[in-house]
Amino acid sequence: MSTPEAIILAIIEGLTEYLPVSSTGHMIIGSSMMGIASNNFVKLFTICIQFGAILSVVVLYFKRFFRSLDFYYKLIIAFIPAAIFGKLFSDAIDQLLETPLGVAISLFLGGIVLLFADKWFNKAEVDDVDAISIPTALKIGLFQCIAMIPGVSRSGATIVGGMSQKLSRKAAAEFSFFLAVPTMFAATVYKLYKYCKEFGAPTAEEIKLLAIGNAVAFVVALLAIKSFIGYLNKHGFRVFGWYRIIAGFVIILLYFTGHQLQVI
């Protein structure tokens, strides 16, 4: 992986991490289209640069993280299902990271769900993250497990999961952002640990690429979060649903017409 390729993937990560379009899925497709050589470092990179994206949430919502212990209880409860699921099915998830066709199918099906999400879940009763109950936090955490399938979208699954529990779009989106912090921090640490255990510490060049990727993802995610909250409140999910359907259809079409995408 070259430095320009790392920057492009980091831009993709920053733009898509908090949008309901699947950042991992887009990085898999982006890697495939750029023809990046298949190796374990690329898989590590796609996970670890999420750390830069989560820092943007901490910066934007800094005061929220020091408001009360109850806030952390809810995040921990919501995080537990993904922690258990990720530990049990880590190898299977790694295999799913290698199939652009699987990503395309997930994009397409998830897009259909987003087209109707605003209609299905339009009876919001909770508009403040502080009013979310612990049982509701746990249910949102279960929705997050679905997003371990590349292409589903962690933010999409948790926001729709929150709306299904009668959260407003704003409250569901903000809780999704906050839940990303422990989830992606744990995923980054665990992936880095596994990589070092199996292949040794990253080289100086690989560390440089990881540093650049995290820095770029951080800056881009800052801009994306601000824009997304405003757009979601005004317009809902339909545009993201249509985007996913079109993107998924195009990738499926390319795949079955002989334009094989290289996996990462």
Per the prediction, the chain carries an average pLDDT of 84
Average pLDDT over residues 120-130: 81
What pLDDT, on a 0 to 100 scale, did the predictor assign at position 207? 92
Does pLDDT of 150 surpass 60? yes
Selection from 101, 102, 180, 103 nearest residue 140 by Cα: 180
Task: Identify the bridge partners of residue 167 per DSSP, sorted by sequence position.
Answer: 126
Tokens coding 249: 């259809």
pLDDT of 216 higher than 90? yes
Q: State the pTM of this model.
A: 0.79
Strand partners, 126: 167
CA distance from start to end of the chain: 11
- Name the more confident of 260 and 103: 103
Single-letter code of the amino acid located at 65: F
- Name the pLDDT band for 213 (thresholds 50, 70, 90): very high
Amino acid at 201: A
Residue 202 near residue 41, CB atoms below 8 Å:
yes
Task: Give the model's confidence band at 227: pLDDT under 50 very low, under 70 low, under 90 confident, else very high.
Answer: confident
245 pLDDT tier (thresholds 50, 70, 90): very high
How many other CB atoms sit within 10 Å of the CB of residue 33? 14
Helix residue ranges per DSSP H, the chain: 3-16, 23-34, 40-48, 50-60, 69-88, 90-96, 100-120, 134-146, 154-164, 169-199, 204-235, 238-256
Mean pLDDT throughout 4-31? 84
